[in-house]
Amino acid sequence: MTAPSKDLPHSLPKTFHVKSFGCQMNVYDGERMAELMAAQGLTAADADSADLVVLNTCHIREKATEKVYSDIGRLRKHGRKPMIAVAGCVAQAEGEEIVARAKVDVVVGPQAYHNLPDLVARAAAGAPALDTDMPLASKFGKLPARRKVGPSAFLTVQEGCDKFCTYCVVPYTRGAEVSRGFDDLVVEARALVEAGAREITLLGQNVNAWDDDGRGLHDLIRTLDRIPGLARIRYTTSHPNDMRQGLIDAHGDVESLMPYLHLPVQSGATRILKAMNRSHGRDDYLRLLDRVRAVRPDIALSGDFIVGFPGETEADFRDTLSLVGEVGYAQAFSFKYSPRPGTPAAGLTDEVPAAVMDDRLQRLQAALGRDQQAFNAATVGRRCQVLVERRGKLPGQMLGKSPWLQSVHFMGDHAIGDLVEVTLTAAGPVSLSGVVQMAEAA
Ligand code: 5AD
Ligand code: SF4
Torsion of CA 216, 205, 46, 128, to 10 degrees: 110
**In terms of domains, do 218 and 102 share one?**
no
Q: How far is CA 427 from CA 169, 377, 391, 402, 430, in A?
A: 37, 5, 19, 12, 8
pLDDT in tens, 92-101: 998 888 888 8
Asked whether 84 lines ligand 2 (CB < 6 A), one says no
At 3, the pLDDT band (50, 70, 90 cuts) reads very low
**In terms of domains, do 222 and 359 share one?**
yes
Q: How far is CA 120 from CA 56, 91, 173, 252, in A?
A: 15, 15, 22, 48
Say whether 229 sits in a helix, a strand or coil.
coil
Ligand nearest, relative to CA of residue 343: 1
- Atom nearest to 167 CA in ligand 1: 10
pLDDT in tens, 354-392: 999 999 999 999 999 999 999 999 999 999 999 999 999
Strand-pairing partners, residue 261, are 301
- For ligand 1, atom 6, which residue shows the shortest CA distance? 168
**In terms of domains, do 271 and 337 share one?**
yes
**In terms of domains, do 248 and 345 share one?**
yes
Answer yes or no: is 8 within a domain: no
Q: Best mutation site among 58, 92, 164, 309 for ligand 2, i.e. most ligand atoms within 8 A of its Cβ?
A: 164
CA of 348 to the centre of ligand 2 (A): 18
What gap in Å lies between CA 210 and CA 191, rounded to an integer?
20
Domain holding 72: CATH number? 3.40.50.12160
The chain-wide mean pLDDT, for the chain, equals 93
Domain holding 359: CATH number? 3.80.30.20
At 409, the pLDDT band (50, 70, 90 cuts) reads very high
**In terms of domains, do 436 and 288 share one?**
no
**Above 50 in pLDDT, residue 418?**
yes
> Is 58 marked within a binding site?
yes
At 5, the pLDDT band (50, 70, 90 cuts) reads very low
pLDDT in tens, 172-228: 988 999 999 999 999 999 999 999 999 999 999 999 999 999 999 999 999 999 999
What pTM, to 2 d.p., does this model score?
A: 0.92
Asked whether 60 lines ligand 1 (CB < 6 A), one says yes
At 158, the pLDDT band (50, 70, 90 cuts) reads very high
> Is 161 marked within a binding site?
yes
What gap in Å lies between CA 324 and CA 320, rounded to an integer?
6
Asked whether 337 lines ligand 1 (CB < 6 A), one says yes
CA of 168 to the centre of ligand 2 (A): 6
User: What's the 3-state SS for 167-198?
Assistant: CCCHHHHCCCCEECCHHHHHHHHHHHHHCCCC
- Atom nearest to 338 CA in ligand 1: 1
**In terms of domains, do 321 and 235 share one?**
yes
- Atom nearest to 334 CA in ligand 1: 17
Answer yes or no: is 3 within a domain: no
Answer yes or no: is 414 within a domain: yes
Domain that holds residue 158: 140-378
Closest CA to 86 of 78, 77, 101: 101
Ligand nearest, relative to CA of residue 171: 2
> Is 384 marked within a binding site?
no
What gap in Å lies between CA 263 and CA 285, rounded to an integer?
9
Average pLDDT of span 19-39: 94
**In terms of domains, do 250 and 160 share one?**
yes
CA of 30 to the centre of ligand 2 (A): 21
Answer yes or no: is 9 within a domain: no
CA of 201 to the centre of ligand 1 (A): 21
Answer yes or no: is 209 within a domain: yes
pLDDT in tens, 219-251: 999 999 999 999 999 999 999 999 999 999 999
Cβ neighbours of 121 (radius 10 Å): 14
What gap in Å lies between CA 266 and CA 167, rounded to an integer?
11
At 439, the pLDDT band (50, 70, 90 cuts) reads low
User: What's the 3-state SS for 338-362?
Assistant: CCCCCCHHHHCCCCCCHHHHHHHHH
C-beta contacts of 130-139 below 8 A and 24+ residues apart: 130/1, 130/2, 130/95, 130/96, 130/99, 130/106, 131/107, 132/91, 132/92, 132/95, 132/107, 132/108, 133/109, 134/109, 134/175, 135/111, 138/178, 138/180, 139/111, 139/112, 139/113, 139/114
CA of 165 to the centre of ligand 1 (A): 9
Average pLDDT of span 131-149: 84
What is the structure's pLDDT at 2? 44
At 163, the pLDDT band (50, 70, 90 cuts) reads very high
Segment among 8-12, 50-54, 67-71 with least mean pLDDT: 8-12
pLDDT in tens, 295-323: 999 999 999 999 999 999 999 999 999 99
Segment among 1-10, 84-93, 278-287 with least mean pLDDT: 1-10
pLDDT in tens, 253-285: 999 999 999 999 999 999 999 999 999 999 999
- For ligand 1, atom 13, which residue shows the shortest CA distance? 304
Q: Contact at 8 Å (CB) between 402 and 424?
A: yes
Looking at 378, 406, 425, the residue that finishes a domain is: 378
Asked whether 61 lines ligand 1 (CB < 6 A), one says yes
CA of 257 to the centre of ligand 2 (A): 24
Asked whether 338 lines ligand 1 (CB < 6 A), one says yes
CA of 168 to the centre of ligand 1 (A): 6
Average pLDDT of span 47-76: 91
Q: How would you class 11 by CB atoms within 10 Å of its CB: exposed for 0-12, middle for 13-18, buried for 19 or more? A: exposed
Asked whether 420 lines ligand 2 (CB < 6 A), one says no
Asked whether 119 lines ligand 2 (CB < 6 A), one says no
Looking at the structure of the chain, the number of domains it has is 3
Q: How many residues does the chain have?
A: 442
Ligand nearest, relative to CA of residue 345: 1
Ligand nearest, relative to CA of residue 166: 2
**In terms of domains, do 64 and 167 share one?**
no
Looking at 356, 378, 400, the residue that finishes a domain is: 378
Asked whether 239 lines ligand 2 (CB < 6 A), one says yes
Q: Best mutation site among 165, 172, 309, 335 for ligand 2, i.e. most ligand atoms within 8 A of its Cβ?
A: 165
Asked whether 87 lines ligand 2 (CB < 6 A), one says no
What gap in Å lies between CA 335 and CA 293, rounded to an integer?
26
Strand 431-436, strand 419-427: pairing: antiparallel
Answer yes or no: is 125 within a domain: yes
Strand-pairing partners, residue 44, are 16
Average pLDDT of span 390-398: 93
**In terms of domains, do 271 and 392 share one?**
no
**In terms of domains, do 53 and 187 share one?**
no
Answer yes or no: is 388 within a domain: yes
What gap in Å lies between CA 205 and CA 162, rounded to an integer?
10
Looking at 131, 151, 182, the residue that finishes a domain is: 131
At 438, the pLDDT band (50, 70, 90 cuts) reads low
What gap in Å lies between CA 283 and CA 306, rounded to an integer?
18
**In terms of domains, do 304 and 401 share one?**
no
Answer yes or no: is 161 within a domain: yes
What is the structure's pLDDT at 1? 41
Asked whether 340 lines ligand 1 (CB < 6 A), one says yes
Domain holding 427: CATH number? 2.40.50.140
**In terms of domains, do 172 and 74 share one?**
no
